[in-house]
Structures are given as structure tokens and as C-alpha cells.
Structure 1
Amino acid sequence: MSNQKIWFITGASKGMGLLLSKLLLDKGDKVAATSRNTEHLKKGIGIESENFLPIELDITNSEAVKQAINKTVDHFGGLDVAVNNAGFSYIGSLEELTDDEFRKALDVNLFGAVNVIRSAMAQFRKQRSGRIINIASAAGYIAGPNIGSYVASKFAMVGLTEALALEARHLNIRPTVVLPGSFRTNFLDEGSLHYAKKTIPDYKSVNTYHSYMKRAGKQPGDPEKLVTELVNLANMENPPVHLILGPDSFQMIMDKRERDLEEFETFRNISLSTDIN
């Protein structure tokens, strides 16, 4: 790939997606940035440039995603990096979340990413190169109470990235799942964090909601450093399949893996007892 890359970024009107888009445009890359509201997107970017292509997009609509990818390729002459950044979280126990709420969470956080991957792969296969960056979370390895739909989508994001890495390696297409910790973006704002409408007092999920809201503006991670590492990732000759970002995320994931191994060993005899003798 040339030094000037062509990027396709979802969820680009705020937070990490907006910061990444602005950084890339500053360095001279070409950016197709998507949002449900392009006016907010254009206002956030703050400049008009021949390298900036704003696209209004509902990522849950597979045909619309295909058209957006095709528009990017037609406009810029190719595609080098696709970033699945769009996402949000419901706060609510599995019992509290309605069917519509749970499905909406997975439609946006997981199936929206799948739509982008499928459409981008057609171009990447054609040119025998490409990078896919899937933004997950430490919650892609560590479950938490009252965020089950978010956890389910991010665990799935890890698994589908691993599968894609095996499927696409011989095509010189490199996917990476990024596992950020707590960064000082607006992810905890009302637009990205929702509370389940149906509440059951036994779960006290409202306490989880208030706990997250109290963290807003106090997250330890520097989002400017985060997006810089995403740019560095796209330039790596041999990028990792998994990239943890943030000391908090790294420590939580390592601790979780230790607990898993301890549990596996505790029940090893049962695990090994099930073959036909």
C-alpha cells in the first residue's frame, strides 16, 4: 500500500471515530467517514477537503453499506483500511432487556461490522491487500453485570476477527480486533449509553448505569494516543490479530485469563473423562 491510504470509518461523527478521521485528514490520507447524520459529521470535522467523503449511513442496512463501500472505491480509486468503530451499549440485565433492545444492540455492534467486512472484502480480494480494524473493548474478553448485550457483541467481534484472519491471510488481508480500556471519549454520554426501559429492582442495574455515568470525563486513557496507535497499526507490516490498548484493559484481560486457567485446571478431571473407553 502507498503512504497515502484510503480509509472507510464507521461512527465517525464523534468520539474515537471523529478523532481518527481528523488525524488522518491532517496527515493527508483520504477518508470516507460515515454517520447517521452527516451534518454533525461535517461540523465535527470542521473542514472541506477533496480527501474527505462524508457518507450518511445506517450500518444495519447491508445494501446501504455495500453502496457506501462502492462509493468510496469509485470516489478515491480504492480502499486500504476499513474501521468498524460504530457502537453503543445498553445498561440492563438480560432479563430486563427487551427482545428489540437486545437485537438492536447486536444489529449495530456486530451485524453492522459484518456488513462492512463483507462489502470491503470484495475490494480487498480484488487488489490482494487490505486492513480491517474492528473496535471491540476489554468487554470482548471480560463480562460485566448488566451489560450483557454489549459483552455478547464484543466477544463475538473477537471471534469473528480470529476467523477472518484465518480465512483471509492467503489473500494478504489483515484484520485486527482492538480491545481498548476506558478512554476519555464521549462513549459514556447519553448518545452512546442507554438504559433499558423495563426495570426489575432485584438486579439493581440502575446502580451500574450511575456508576458508568460517574466515570464520564474521568477515564484514564488518552484518546489522542489511542487513534495514533490505530494509524500505526494500519502501517504495520505484520499486524497482530489482537491489540489491547490501555493499561487498565491489559491488566483486566490478563487477570481474567489467569482466573480462567485456574478454573480449567480445577475441573480438568471432568473435562478429560468424557471419551469412549
Structure 2
Amino acid sequence: MSNQKIWFVTGASKGMGLLLTKLLLNTGHKVAATSRNLGLLKSNVGLENDLFLPIELDITNSRDVKLAINQTVQYFGGLDVAVNNAGFSFIGSLEELTDEEFRKALDINLFGTVNVIRASMAQFRKQRSGRVINIASAAGYIAGLNIGSYVASKFAIVGLTEALALEAKHLNIKPTVVLPGSFRTNFLDEGSLNYAKTPIAEYESADTYRSYAERAGKQPGDPQKLALELVNLANMENPPVHLILGPDSFKMIMDKRAQDLEEFEAFKKISLSTNFE
């Protein structure tokens, strides 16, 4: 195929990563797909051919990530698109989460993304081309109740992508942060939700847990359409730095930005009062 690309996709054994991997393979792309569980990855993809390179990987291990990227380049002869899809979330207030729990969320969502970007950049610089697609969330702009660690990581992914866009522009490397709304994947299924181990009654995090669980299977977003838009994104000559996907995400983000502007204007006099006279 004329637009065949070499992709590196994290978190590919289930959810959005699995759908994207299958779509890419079915349309003739070359895919290095990673998961902590190699057997599950191979079984769920259900395909074995020269276009598919399954890799067992803990994205929080920077050395292993570098080895995985190098393996991809050696096997396929290059790398065109790195997709940071792997994600993790604890439900729990900031006070409820232990240091270990909070750091785990950031290790996977943020530092795992940083590891993949850093490992990919050497090849992208060599080629003077490359795409980085960072999957964030509407929560990259909007705080959600009792998901502070997830929100912190996704806000960071937005800023990280903006910084990378500035750093890599002259190298023809084009990053995009994708901000999906609620799509019908297994992210809200019982096996994917993680609850703080030391709950505090005043925060009612258990109610938050149930509210998320009750949305499973009822999300309005079509994940197949999301996967297709990620492929389209990689083919754009001038991709956006930010791509909102889903009417719900678009409305929430625009409403939040309007609220921010209203607050900024309300306190503008104070903001402008701090220079030397």
C-alpha cells in the first residue's frame, strides 16, 4: 500500500490500543504492539504475519522501552508513528491515595509516555520525520471528581505534547495530543477500574467508583471511529497539536475554557497589579 506506515502502539492488548492495532494490520500497516501480557496480546489480536511484531513491555522501564523501539526499527527498517495509548487510573481523592498509588498512575500515564517519546526521537531525528500521538482525555483540561492522579497525568500530557511540538518542529516531527471523551471501550469495566486501598468516608469515593462502573457499556463514543481518526491523523500533512474527539469532550473542554476566561477577567485587576510602579 502506498501509505503504509510503521507504527509502535502501547497498551495494545485491549481497549483502544487493540482496536487500533487490528485496524492497522487489516489495512496493511506494519505494527509493533506492546503489552505487559504477551500471551493476551497475541490471543486478542488473533493474527500472525510479518506485519505484526508483538512485544512484551513495561513502559515504565526506560531501558526496556529503548530496546523495544530499537527492535521495531531493526525488524521493520524504520518507525513512522509512535502511539502512547497505555493508560491507568485510580479512583480516590488526593488524600486517600498512597504515595505508591499516586506514583503508579504517573509512572504509567506520564513517564511511560516520556520513555516512548525519548526512545523514538533518535530514529525520528535521523529520518527528519515522525509522528507522536499521545492519548490523553478530556481530563487533560477538566478535573474530575476523585480522579486527581489521572487528571494530573493527563494535564501533564497536554503540556508535554505542546513542549515537544516546539522542540521538534524544525525536525519535521509532528506530535498531537488526542483528547477523547467517553468511548465504549473496556476502560470502565470492573477489571480496569482501580480503587484507592485506604478510603476516607468523607470523600464518598465508593460512590464515584460506582458511578464510573455504571457507565460501562453505555458510553456514547464509537471506538471504531476513534481508531479510524487516529489513522487519518497520521496521514495529515499538517496535523493539529490538539485533537478533541467526541461531542461530549468538545463541549466539556469548551465550557471549561469559557469558565476559565470568565474567572481570569474577574480577577484581571489583581493580575495586572503586580509590576513595579
Q: TM-score, length-normalised on structure 2?
A: 0.99
2:195 — aligned with what?
195
2:62 — aligned with what?
62
Distance 1:73 1:274 in 2: 52
Distance 1:191 1:71 in 2: 31
- How many percent identity over aligned positions? 80
- Residue type of the partner of 1:28? G
2:159 — aligned with what?
159
- Residue type of the partner of 1:173? I
2:245 — aligned with what?
245
How many residues end up aligned between the 2 structures?
Answer: 277
CA RMSD in angstroms, aligned pairs only: 0.9
Could you list the runs of 4 or more consecutive aligned residues of structure 1 that deviate by over 4 angstroms after TM superposition? none
Q: What SS class does the counterpart of residue 186 from structure 2 fall into?
A: coil
Instruction: Report the CA distance between 1:190 and its aligned residue.
Output: 3.1
Distance 2:150 2:90 in 1: 7
1:103 — aligned with what?
103
2:225 — aligned with what?
225
Instruction: Report the CA distance between 1:145 and its aligned residue.
Output: 1.5
Q: Which runs of 5 or more residues in structure 2 are unaligned? A: none
Q: What SS class does the counterpart of residue 86 from structure 2 fall into?
A: coil
Q: Which runs of 5 or more residues in structure 1 are unaligned? A: none
Instruction: Report the CA distance between 1:189 and its aligned residue.
Output: 1.8
Distance 1:82 1:192 in 2: 23
Distance 2:226 2:220 in 1: 12
Distance 1:253 1:266 in 2: 20
Distance 1:88 1:168 in 2: 27
2:6 — aligned with what?
6
Q: Write the deviation string for residues 177-205 of structure 1: whole angstroms up to 9, x where unpaired.
A: 00000000000123322000001000111
Q: Write the deviation string for residues 68-121 of structure 1: whole angstroms up to 9, x where unpaired.
A: 000000000000000000011100000000000000000000000000000000
Distance 1:138 1:95 in 2: 23
Distance 2:136 2:154 in 1: 5
Instruction: Report the CA distance between 1:246 and its aligned residue.
Output: 0.1
Distance 2:236 2:47 in 1: 29
In the alignment, is the contact (CA less than 8 A) between 1:96 and 1:198 conserved in 2?
A: yes
In the alignment, is the contact (CA less than 8 A) between 1:87 and 1:192 conserved in 2?
A: no
Distance 2:219 2:4 in 1: 32
